[in-house]
Structures are given as structure tokens and as C-alpha cells.
Amino acid sequence: MRIMMGKIGDWLDHRLQLAAPIREAAEHPVPRNTASWFYVFGSAALTVFLLQLVTGILLALIYVPSAGEAWSSLQALNHDVALGWFIRGMHGWGSNFMVAIVLIHMVQVFLFGAYKFPRELTWIIGVLLLLMTLGMAFTGQVLRFDQDAYWGLGIGASIASRVPIIGPAVVKLMLGGPIIAGATLSRFFALHVFVIPGMLIAFVCLHLLMVLKLGINEWPMPGRIVKRATYEREYHELTKQDGAPFVPYAIWKDLFFAAFIILAVAACAYYIGPFGPTGQPDPTIIQTAPKPDYFFLWLYALLSLLPPSMETPFLLIVPPLVILALILLPFLSGEGEKSWKRRPIAVITVLMIAITLGTFTRMAQFTPWSPHMNAWSSDPVPDRYIHGTTALERQGALVFQVKQCRNCHSIGDTGGQRGPTLDSVAVRLTRDQLIRQVIQGGGNMPAYGNNLSPAETTALVAFLETLHPATQSPARDAARDFVIRGSAPKPATQP
């Protein structure tokens, strides 16, 4: 049997002549210190990418890229096709893992100075691979053609339409027509299944080829300075003196981590399951609060928190600048220290970006800026706020509910968080200030003057004046006390 196999192998290699170059590539010497668990993320990204190719092709066996049928074909995958739910779960979780691993790989490469001479182009292609990975994540979310995908496309179109002059044309190009419809899904399908994967495969090959040709970045030593004139000779000497063949010396860690990642994706798919689809992509169903997928949540938060006037410039100027900065990075610091121990600004930059994105992502999971659309009818005023109040104040509590104040203001820890919580509003604002705020709005609150009768305003403000902790007296206007009651100070209002 073994002889037979050998003969077939020889026959093939006589024609293909691939065995020698493959062996050469596998056994090329790498610096011993690169056989580290820090160096496994590149191969892990490749592993997840291959996993995505396989699960993606499997999904394409069932999925129908038609706006009328995509949603039901996903339902069929989830519920009717044997193990369809698992393959969907693998593909969805694989997507999350891929973005995460590519980002980790990038941070590792940045902190280890691997982007410096002569690996500038490897880094630049890596930046393009990151952009394509994010492109795959976004187009993939669109293919899960549900409510979130539909309104997510609307958000994408709204952003695109802000581009000066060509904005409207970009929107129609993106949507494949004047509205989000069948042509939109078809073109995102073409992007997700043909265009971007084709480019990804080509660029991954180039990326790998350069890793082979230029060698794996050696473990950075503080004080070992990269110089264009000497680096390549030094690296060559290093691999000669302290090198080991990549296979098997270093690859076993890659293999272990790759298997671990595949099992982790499978475990997430099995125990947590696939993502969605959420409601049907029917634009007449407006009871929906669309949210982007995990890796775009930070953007969702940013778009809520930026001042309105800064939004368009930010959206149109900052992303190209960030990409430009990433591409220029190896040219701006192509030489010098590689070790993160001697590059404090690099470390601080990574930490700042990570903390910022992490904070935005966390906030977007709570969406404190979104009104709670049902709070006014589902979150009652807590008993303790009504107990012992006058008829007028209770009427005010009713106005407070009926006029949907709760949608943006919480009391007793329920309700929206768009505006400030009102549990102790009476401590902050006097009666006159409350009346002014309710009638004129301001500070991001709509004016209710046109929508409240004077009686309703009086009742509402009377209720709001009772909202203060028992141990704190409400705010009062001393001048008003003086005018109304002479010089005697007014005693604290009873709760």
C-alpha cells in the first residue's frame, strides 16, 4: 500500500513538480524565538477564513438571494434543514471570530514592530485584508435579510448620501435602485460571495508569500534597532545561527491554536446558536429598533453621541484619515525600535483605541440615548412616589405617564435614559425652572408648551416638585419666598 502511494506521489510530482518548493517553504528556517504563542494569530485568521469559505458554500446550497425569499430560506435553514442552524451558527460566529482574530493579529504585529522594514508591504496588504474582513462582516449582515439588515442598509444609505455632490449617485449605486429592494440584496450577495472573497483570496496569498520571502518577524529585543542598511543581513545571520525549520519546530503551536479556534467556533454555534434572523424585512412594520452587529456597535454609539454638526465631517473625513494613517505607518516609522518595551506611545495608542472602542461598544449594548418607546405604557410610577400625595400631584403623575415623559426620563430605575433621571429633580430645579423647562424645552429636550394645557403643566410640575429624597429638601428660590411670605424662610416641602 505504502509503495503504491509512493508511486502515485512520484507520478504526480514528476508532472506537477511541486514537492520541492513545498518542502523548501515548510522547512525554511525561522528564528527560534518566533515559535511563540504570540505568533499564532495570523495562521488562526487564515484558519477561520477557510472555515468561512466552507460554511459559506454550504449555506449557499440553501440560501436564496432574493428580497422576497431570503428571510424564509433562512428560516428553513434554522428549522427545516438538518443541521442548517449549526452551519449558520458556525458562519455567524466564524465571522465574529475572524474580525476579532484579525484585530488581535494586527495589534500583535503593531506592538512587535513587525510592520517595519522590509515588511511594509505585508502590513499594507494586511490593512487591506482588515478592510475586506470588515466588508465581509457588513455585507454578511445584509444577507441575513431581516429587519436589522433592512434598516441597517437605510443607515448605510443615509451616510453615503452625505458625500458632497456624488452622494445621491452613491446611494443608488449602493442600493442598485432608488429604494432598498431586490436589486440591493442581489448586489450585496455578489459582493459577499464573489467580489470580496476573490480579493481576499488573492491578497491572503500575497500576504503569505511575503511572509515566506521576507521571513517571520524575529522576537523584538529592546535595543536591537532596525536599520534599512543592515537589517536583512542581521536577520539572515539570526536565522542561520539560531534558526529552526518552521515545520515542525514552530508549526505545532499554530496547529494546536487552529484546532482550538475551530472548536471554539463550533462550541459557540452549538451552545449559543445562529444569529437571527430577526423580524421580516417588511418596511411597513415600523415597531423595530434596529441595531448593528457586534463589531459595528461602536459606530452606532458614536453616531448617537457626536454633536449633530460634527457628524457628517466626522463620517466623511475620519475613516479615510485612519486608513491613510495605517497605510503610512510603516513609512513613517520603518526603522528603529521594535520592542513594545521601548515604544510607550505605541502601547498607549493601542490602549486608548481599545478602551475607546470597548466603551462605545459597551454603551451601545445599553443604548441610553434611545427613547424607550413603551416605557410610558409599561413602566408605572412607583407606589412610593404616589403615597401621601395631593390630588393635583397625582394628576401630575398621570400627565407624566400619558405625555410619554417616561420614554426619555426614568424614575424608580425604570424608563428611558435619554434625558436625566428625575428621582431627585426637585433638588436640582425650582418650580419656575421646572415650568420653564417643560414649556420651552432645551438642553436636548423638546418644548411641550404647545402640547400641555396650563392645568396639565401645573399638575405635572406639582408632581415633579415631590421628586426628591426624603433627606434632601427641594430647591427653592429665596427671592420668591421673600416676595410671597415676607422674610420668613419657607419650610421644606413635605414629601
The 223-262 site mask, x for binding another protein (CB under 8 A), equals ----------------------------------------
Q: Is 284 exposed, middle or buried (0-12, 13-18, 19+ CB in 10 A)?
A: exposed
Residue 471 engages another protein in binding (rule: CB under 8 A): no
Q: Cell numbers at residue 56, please? A: 459559506
Which CB atom, from 27 or from 69, has the smaller least distance to another protein? 69
Tell me the CB-side half-sphere exposure of residue 319, using CA atoms within 13 A.
11
Q: Cell numbers at residue 187, please? A: 448586489
Minimal distance, residue 60 CB to another protein, in Å: 17
Of 407, 399, 402, 486, the residue nearest 434 (C-alpha): 399
Residue 199 engages another protein in binding (rule: CB under 8 A): no
Residue 415 engages another protein in binding (rule: CB under 8 A): no
Residues 377-396 that bind another protein (CB under 8 A): none
Which CB atom, from 158 or from 349, has the smaller least distance to another protein? 158
d(CA 98, CA 109): 16
Residue 361 · residue 305 · CB < 8 Å: no
d(CA 265, CA 92): 9
Residue 476 engages another protein in binding (rule: CB under 8 A): no
Q: Is the peptide bond before 118 cis (omega within 30 degrees of 0)?
A: yes
Which CB atom, from 389 or from 404, has the smaller least distance to another protein? 404
Minimal distance, residue 458 CB to another protein, in Å: 17
Residue 308 engages another protein in binding (rule: CB under 8 A): yes
Which CB atom, from 161 or from 458, has the smaller least distance to another protein? 161
Which CB atom, from 177 or from 273, has the smaller least distance to another protein? 177
Minimal distance, residue 177 CB to another protein, in Å: 5
Among 176, 245, 273, 279, binds another protein (CB under 8 A): 176
Among 6, 68, 223, 336, binds another protein (CB under 8 A): 68
Among 62, 118, 121, 172, binds another protein (CB under 8 A): 172
d(CA 244, CA 253): 14
Q: What is the DSSP letter of 146?
A: S
d(CA 99, CA 107): 12
Return the amino acid letter for 247: V
SS3 assignment, position 118: coil
Minimal distance, residue 8 CB to another protein, in Å: 41
Residues 105-124 that bind another protein (CB under 8 A): none
The 132-171 site mask, x for binding another protein (CB under 8 A), equals ------------------xx--xx-xxxxxxx---xxx-x
The 342-371 site mask, x for binding another protein (CB under 8 A), equals ---------------------------xxx
DSSP string, 268-304: HHHHT------S---TT---------GGGHHHHHHHH
Residue 454 engages another protein in binding (rule: CB under 8 A): no
Residue 408 engages another protein in binding (rule: CB under 8 A): yes
Which CB atom, from 78 or from 304, has the smaller least distance to another protein? 304
Residue 121 · residue 343 · CB < 8 Å: no
Among 32, 403, 428, 490, binds another protein (CB under 8 A): 403
Residue 361 · residue 294 · CB < 8 Å: yes
Residue 465 · residue 429 · CB < 8 Å: no
Q: Which stretch binds another protein (CB under 8 A): 183-191, 256-264, 324-332, 337-345?
A: 183-191
Residue 284 engages another protein in binding (rule: CB under 8 A): yes
What are the residues facing 243 on neighbouring strands?
31
Of 228, 250, 41, 21, the residue nearest 129 (C-alpha): 41
> CA angle 401-406-407, nearest 5°?
125
Q: Which stretch binds another protein (CB under 8 A): 211-219, 280-288, 355-363, 426-434?
A: 280-288
Q: Which stretch binds another protein (CB under 8 A): 122-130, 219-227, 247-255, 276-284?
A: 276-284
Q: Number of residues in contact with another protein, rule: CB under 8 A?
A: 71
Q: Cell numbers at residue 313, please? A: 465631517
> CA angle 316-317-322, nearest 5°?
115
Among 446, 485, 489, 493, binds another protein (CB under 8 A): 446
Residue 453 engages another protein in binding (rule: CB under 8 A): no
Residue 279 engages another protein in binding (rule: CB under 8 A): no
Return the amino acid letter for 47: T
Residue bearing cell 500500500: 1
Minimal distance, residue 339 CB to another protein, in Å: 43
Residue 298 · residue 357 · CB < 8 Å: yes
Of 198, 204, 370, the residue nearest 288 (C-alpha): 370
Q: What is the DSSP letter of 412?
A: T
Residues 37-66 that bind another protein (CB under 8 A): 66
Of 148, 137, 135, 156, the residue nearest 71 (C-alpha): 148
Minimal distance, residue 183 CB to another protein, in Å: 6
Among 114, 130, 180, 329, binds another protein (CB under 8 A): 180
